[in-house]
Structure 1
Amino acid sequence: MSTLLEKISDLNDLVLQGKAMEAFERYYHEDVVMQENETKPTVGKAANRRREEEFFAAITEFRGAKPLKVAVGESVTMVEWHYDYTHKDWGTRNYTQISVQEWRNGQIVLEKFYYGV
């Protein structure tokens, strides 16, 4: 059985390889809840899959992503990411985001993203 550090490291590596949806399928629970800052959470893997696919489809130029810091606790991981891309609706985005994941039985059941707008 992999440790949470191994799991979050593999997830991050998949994202960096352009395989974010593969990471999503591998590491996210069927009942996952995902939330951007204080917006209404998206519940369930199917709804979050659609949300993620729509997000990636709207990227018109991707200049980079880099995990800056990773923290692991008891059933929780946190990653500080730096992103640089252009989105068809939001324009140029160059920012730092904190992603906090709660894990159960080796899968993410809750993920919340914190970033400035």
Structure 2
Amino acid sequence: MPSRARLDEFIAAVVSGDHAGAIERFYTEDASMQENAAAPRVGRDVLVAHERAVLERVKSVTSTCVTSIVEGDHVAIHWVFEFTYHSGKTGRFDEVALQEWRGDRVFRERFFYDPSKPT
């Protein structure tokens, strides 16, 4: 079960822009991530590689935590991600991440957002 302080450390890492580093430091080796109803990606190395590939496609990303809740081993985080692509276009994702933690690390995560809404 994560402490509030541990969750705040994770959120601070993401907000600072260290997305791949946050996965390396805060996820279990066998962690999974799932986008909406897509099949989950499994394994921390796979998750880090995917995150780095996403970040290579953008010029910058600003991450904002709107709110977060810790309830035992379960965490909910409301994120807003604002992307600037290399083309100069921008996109915004308003997302809720539901996480299951094992001790002080994320074991399972599922993201909920409207995929048609990068504005």
Question: Which interval holds the TM-score relative to the shorter structure?
Answer: 0.7 to 0.9
Partner of residue 113, structure 2: 115
CA separation in 2, counterparts of 1:93 and 1:72?
28
- Using the size of structure 2 for normalisation, the TM-score is 0.86
Q: Matches of residues 23-42 of structure 1 in structure 2 within 5 Å?
A: 23-42=22-41
Partner of residue 78, structure 2: 80
Aligned residues of 2:33 and 2:40 also touching (Cα < 8 A): yes
Partner of residue 47, structure 1: 46
**Per-residue deviation, 1:111:** 0.6
Aligned residues of 1:4 and 1:77 also touching (Cα < 8 A): no
Partner of residue 59, structure 1: 58
Aligned residues of 2:95 and 2:111 also touching (Cα < 8 A): yes
- Using the size of structure 1 for normalisation, the TM-score is 0.87
User: Please, what is the CA RMSD of the aligned residues?
Assistant: 1.9
**Per-residue deviation, 1:46:** 1.4
Structure 1 position 69 matched with structure 2 position 67:
yes
**Per-residue deviation, 1:54:** 0.5
Structure 1 position 105 matched with structure 2 position 106:
no
When residues 60 and 71 of structure 1 are mapped into structure 2, their CA distance, relative to the original with a 3 A threshold, is same
Provide the secondary structure at the position in 2 that maps to 1:18.
coil
Alignment: residue pair count: 114
- What code does the residue aligned with 2:53 have? E
Provide the secondary structure at the position in 2 that maps to 1:70.
strand
**Per-residue deviation, 1:17:** 1.4
Deviates more, 1:34-43 or 1:4-13: 4-13
Provide the secondary structure at the position in 2 that maps to 1:34.
strand
Show structure 2 runs of 5+ residues with no match: none
Q: Matches of residues 1-40 of structure 1 in structure 2 within 5 Å?
A: 3-40=2-39
Show structure 1 runs of 5+ residues with no match: none
When residues 87 and 80 of structure 1 are mapped into structure 2, their CA distance, relative to the original with a 3 A threshold, is same
CA separation in 1, counterparts of 2:25 and 2:84?
27
**Per-residue deviation, 1:98:** 0.4
